[in-house]
Amino acid sequence: MNILAIESSCDDTAASVVRDGRTVLSSCVSSQIEMHTIYGGVVPEIASRKHVEAISGLADRAVSDAGLTKAELDAVAVTYAPGLIGAVLVGVNFAKGAAMALDLPLVPVHHVRGHIAANYITHPDLEPPFVCLCVSGGTTAIVDVRSYTDMSILGGTRDDAAGECFDKVARVLGIGYPGGGPMDKLAQGGDDTKYNLPVARVAGAELDMSFSGLKTASLNLIHNVEQKGETLDLPAFAASFGRAVSDSLVPRVLAAAGMRGYGKVAVAGGVAANSRIRADLQAACAKSGDRLFLPELRWCGDNAAMIGCQGFYELRAGHLAGWDLNAYATRDIGLG
Ligand code: KG4
């Protein structure tokens, strides 16, 4: 079963061909980072236009890189939610056109389900059930993955996503966009106890998180140091910030894993590339006895291979779309 997968939910246009849900035959990504860097964040209208320019050529390249012809494709899978609405619409409409022209089934894939499925590429032996920490620029949630297509949120952020928090703080520091990667590098060797940053708790909802307070406290600290004419110890600040984010995430995913009792923990999304979070998860799982699944770094950020992977399981479950498939800016992961 060869699935052509399309992803365009934010600032990466991506196309891939995946065989039987686990084997990536090709993966093409066209990043728009350079364009959005000028503005310090993603400009939705520009993202949509860039997707339109890139998507057709990228899909052709994904098929030829896979060593296949279009006649050897069995389905078209596409991210239909959540994301920037104009951006998602580009992928959905392209996928509809491709599926109609090639007379193939159209498979709608939830973007966060795709991030979770990135783990299946790295770990051929991973099967549900497991608990997955999904952390990206738009999502921070602990997901109960009961089966390949049956999942629900156990806890999540009440405000900002962890990745968004990394990006906003990095922007104020002027260290690049998106900021998570540069913050991670900067933190190496920094004293993570030098700056005291808050780790929020949501009363009565122990698996929920909040990152807006951390963002505000970080920005205030940076401005205070500037106003006093002092110099911020950048590595120590980045390390202290990384510790605060990790301390918000890791104990909660371990608590969720303990409640569900599957013995398996996975992590997914762009922020899953963070070295502090990966190390803390490894230490915590070694202590709890849960088996930890970390996706390879190249599958953490947005890509279409993960969509092809999840698309296989959606198709197998009979989750197909008609030509009236719409795009959604937000959508519960449980709805598929
Ligand atoms: O999954 P992704 O590529 O896009 C979304 O679906 O949102 O995630 C992008 C996010 C950005 O916020 C970026 O700063 C963050 O992932 N990120 C990281 C790291 N690499 C990327 N955050 C922390 N540490 C990293 N190493």
For 102-134, write each residue's pLDDT tens digit: 999 999 999 999 999 999 999 999 999 999 999
Task: Find out whether 11 and 301 touch, Cβ atoms under 8 Å.
Answer: no
Same domain, 136 and 256: yes
Same domain, 129 and 271: yes
Same domain, 272 and 197: yes
| pLDDT less than 50: residues of the chain | none
Which atom of ligand 1 lies nearest, measured to the CA of 138?
7
Tokens of 41: 């964040």
120 located within any domain:
no
- Atom 13 of ligand 1, residue of closest alpha carbon: 180
Q: Residue 44 has what pLDDT?
A: 95
Distance 145 CA to ligand 1 centre (A): 22
Q: Of 28, 35, 11, which Cα lies nearest the Cα of 83? A: 11
The rounded distance, in Å, linking the Cα atoms of 295 and 69 is: 29
Q: How many distinct structural domains can be found in the chain?
A: 2
Same domain, 254 and 295: yes
The rounded distance, in Å, linking the Cα atoms of 327 and 336 is: 13
88 located within any domain:
yes
Task: Find out whether 17 and 58 touch, Cβ atoms under 8 Å.
Answer: no
- Atom 23 of ligand 1, residue of closest alpha carbon: 180
**For 310, how many CA atoms within 13 A lie in the half-sphere containing its CB?**
28
- Atom 14 of ligand 1, residue of closest alpha carbon: 180
Which atom of ligand 1 lies nearest, measured to the CA of 112?
6
Same domain, 161 and 290: yes
pLDDT digits (tens, 9 = 90+) for 290-306: 999 999 999 999 999 99
48 located within any domain:
yes
Contacts of 174 (CB under 8 A, 6+ apart): none
Q: Which of 32, 88, 136, 169 to mutate to test the pocket of ligand 1 (most atoms within 8 A of CB)?
A: 136
Same domain, 255 and 133: yes
Distance 324 CA to ligand 1 centre (A): 32
Which atom of ligand 1 lies nearest, measured to the CA of 302?
3
Distance 203 CA to ligand 1 centre (A): 28
Same domain, 155 and 265: yes
Q: Residue 170 has what pLDDT?
A: 97
Same domain, 45 and 170: no
Same domain, 104 and 56: yes
Q: Which of 29, 166, 277, 303 to mutate to test the pocket of ligand 1 (most atoms within 8 A of CB)?
A: 166
Q: Could you tell me the CATH number of the domain that includes residue 200?
A: 3.30.420.40
Same domain, 88 and 171: no
Same domain, 88 and 52: yes
Same domain, 204 and 98: no
Ligand 1 pocket residues where CB is under 6 Å = 10, 136-138, 163, 166-167, 178-181, 184, 269-271, 273-274, 301-302
Distance 140 CA to ligand 1 centre (A): 11
Contacts of 320 (CB under 8 A, 6+ apart): 105, 106, 107, 108
223 located within any domain:
yes
Domain range enclosing 47? 2-115+302-335
**For 137, how many CA atoms within 13 A lie in the half-sphere containing its CB?**
20
